[in-house]
Structure 1
Amino acid sequence: MKIERIHHVAYRCRDAKETVQFYTEMLNMGFVLAIAEDKVPSTHEPDPYMHVFLDAGAGNVLAFFELPTKPDMGRDENTPPWVQHIAFQVKDREALLEYRDHLEKNGVEVLGVTDHSIFHSIYFFDPNGHRVELAAPDPDQQKALERLDSVKWDMLEEWSRTKRAPKHADWLHAKEFETS
């Protein structure tokens, strides 16, 4: 048995049309399809919904549910907003900077570029409050990934014992934040 790939990832949205417009206009994703029903197919629970699907590239699909009969969306208040997010890869740093400029010109507040050594990222929130990351591979990504691979099990074991950040890869964020 082996998982082949992610079929789709689904989140809740406040407004399906606004969400589709954001992802098509801000991130250039294609609007793939929409499904709407009055009851949930898996549970048969009566609950009207709109389910929209967006092309996230390379066969990846991002989906959203609008649930008009449910209470307003909330979030887990015990989890910081930076933790739960979805990250999309872009071709290179030039594309990352183009996206940052495009988003900012359209009124989206963007954080970064952040240098993670293996990739560089920008962060922003969609209209639903979901954090989104765009990541571009670092030119030395393979070398850094090999270095990280060699310490992953030791790091996990130390973390499991101590619940303190192991120092095996403290080089990773040596260049914490850059502005251009």
Structure 2
Amino acid sequence: MSTNNGIHHLAVATADIKTQIDFFNDVLGCELVALYWMHGVEGAWHGFMKLSDTCSIAFVQTPDVPGIERTLGVTHAGSGGGPCAGGAMQHVAFNVDSLDDLLAMRDRIRSRNITVFGPLDHGMCHSIYFAGPEDLSLEVAFSEQPIDGRAWIDPEVVGLAGISADELERYRNPEPFESTGTPVPQPEFDPSLPWQRGIPQELYEAIITMPDEVLTETMSESTPPVLVDG
């Protein structure tokens, strides 16, 4: 069955990639594993800070970002409970494997003169909260066991969200998908459905109508900036 099994990377825009790299390295102990010209984006840098072998927090710096104002309640939430624009990152929570690890991370953060509060016991997880550069709202969390939907899906909120009983059953039991080995054709472009509106529509339509093998051949950039033996 085809399904997702984790976050590969979460990309955050930055006006100062060095400051973000330094913070995540020193305060959170993350290893820098990639820093290169972002593929296909003129003037952009892409940096990856390792969380695990398959998961990173990533940063994107473009020449335009320094001129975009950060506004709490619009572009940034400013806290783990604050509002911001739909589709924007409200906060990100990193995982640790035990309560002892969570307390050690709290102490590490404080040892770098960054204020952090918690842990708070949310039942489904224990969490600590703090801020990162450029008003990032950050959390580190630990769950003793997988989240049990029988206990943590509130019927009142289900109703307020307009979710029917049939929809809830489907949400709790996603329809499996088995690949037949034959690629599914690209659907017709429908601008009323989600699409990457940061790309000019004419260019976007040209990209999505390319045969997959042509797109892979013409737009891929797989050579790293530094060639390593072995």
Same fold (TM over 0.5): yes
Give runs of aligned pairs for residues 20-169 of structure 1, distance below 5 A.
20-36=21-37, 41=40, 47-70=42-65, 71-75=67-71, 77-78=73-74, 80-81=77-78, 82-83=80-81, 84-138=90-144, 141-142=145-146, 145-146=147-148, 148-150=149-151, 152=153, 154-161=155-162
Higher fraction of strand:
1
Structure 1 gaps, min length 5:
162-180
Distance 1:131 1:2 in 2: 28
Instruction: Say which one has the larger Rg.
Output: 2
Once structures 1 and 2 are overlaid, which stretch shifts more, 25-34 or 77-86?
Answer: 77-86
| Cα distance change of structure 1 residues 87 and 151 upon mapping to structure 2, 3 Å threshold | closer
| Cα distance change of structure 1 residues 151 and 116 upon mapping to structure 2, 3 Å threshold | closer
Per-residue deviation, 1:91:
1.7
**Is the partner of 1:27 in helix, strand or coil?**
coil
**Is the partner of 2:43 in helix, strand or coil?**
strand
Per-residue deviation, 1:90:
0.9
> Can you list the C-alpha shifts for 1:24-77, whole angstroms capped at 9, x where unaligned?
11111111111226xx71xx6xx4221101111151121101223331451462
**Is the partner of 2:19 in helix, strand or coil?**
helix
Whether the 8 Å CA contact 1:121–1:136 is kept in 2: the answer is: yes
Higher relative contact order (CA 8 A, sep 6+): 1
> Can you list the C-alpha shifts for 1:130-175, whole angstroms capped at 9, x where unaligned?
111001224xx45xx33x43562734432225xxxxxxxxxxxxxx
Per-residue deviation, 1:102:
1.5
Distance 2:45 2:24 in 1: 16
Percent identity of paired positions between Structure 1 and Structure 2: 24
Per-residue deviation, 1:107:
1.1
Structure 2 gaps, min length 5:
82-89, 163-230
Distance 2:59 2:122 in 1: 29
Whether the 8 Å CA contact 1:14–1:73 is kept in 2: the answer is: no
Distance 2:25 2:124 in 1: 28
| Cα distance change of structure 1 residues 109 and 153 upon mapping to structure 2, 3 Å threshold | closer
Alignment coverage as a number of residue pairs: 151
**Is the partner of 2:27 in helix, strand or coil?**
helix
Q: What RMSD, in angstroms, separates the aligned Cα atoms of the two structures?
A: 2.6
**Is the partner of 1:2 in helix, strand or coil?**
coil
